[in-house]
């Protein structure tokens, strides 16, 4: 399963070298995975179906550089006329707090890159709150991975066990 942003610059099948039907894809603004119970609906249903019915063995949460959703979290006023998007992105707010704790906003591009990575890690944690996911992880039947795709260079970075992102070889 591949959970990613709705941004058209990121093509999951092209990025993974997959053909039609090879991966189960869920796309939404900010590659958000609401914690279980917060917003039961589309994303939660897709996760449950992929994990329980299709028995996927891996889930990738993939963010990307220059993410408009993450930029809007840094400029909340940009969401004034988008109340539904504002509510949706509450599932990413903790990533802003973490980024503020470990990085300075004065370095705008580095802060945004860190925020994008922290958001991927946060969404991975939210994914683990879903009962179907937690059960499959406990059985040793499911792995969760975090990726960040650079839309300019095409580079993919993957999170390691310490939550650091390293280029994929």
Q: Is 140 left (phi over 0), alpha (psi -120 to 50) or beta?
A: left
Do residues 120 and 63 lie in contact, with contact meaning Cβ atoms separated by under 8 Å?
yes
Is the predicted pLDDT of residue 78 greater than 90, yes or no?
yes
pLDDT band at 106 (very low <50, low <70, confident <90, very high): confident
Do residues 135 and 116 lie in contact, with contact meaning Cβ atoms separated by under 8 Å?
no
The mean predicted confidence, pLDDT, of the chain is 94
Can you list the domains of the chain with their CATH numbers? 2-167 (3.40.1050.10)
Q: Which residue has the higher pLDDT, 108 or 96?
A: 96
Angle between helices 93-102 and 108-127 (to 10 degrees): 130
């Amino acid at each position: 399963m591949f959970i990613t942003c709705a941004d058209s610059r990121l093509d999951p099948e092209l990025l993974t070298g997959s053909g039609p039907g090879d991966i189960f894809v869920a796309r939404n603004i900010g590659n958000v995975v609401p914690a279980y119970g917060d917003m039961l609906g589309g994303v939660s249903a897709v996760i449950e179906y992929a994990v329980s019915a299709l028995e996927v063995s891996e889930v990738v949460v993939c963010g990307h550089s220059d993410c408009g959703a993450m930029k809007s979290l840094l400029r909340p006023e940009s969401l004034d006329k988008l109340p539904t998007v504002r509510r949706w992105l509450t599932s990413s707010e903790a990533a802003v707090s973490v980024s503020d704790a470990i990085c300075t906003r004065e370095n705008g591009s580095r802060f945004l890159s860190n925020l994008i990575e922290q958001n991927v890690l946060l969404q991975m944690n939210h994914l683990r709150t879903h009962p179907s996911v937690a059960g499959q992880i406990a059985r040793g039947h499911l792995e969760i991975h975090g990726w960040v795709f650079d839309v300019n260079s095409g580079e993919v970075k993957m999170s390691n066990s310490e939550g650091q992102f390293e280029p994929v070889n």
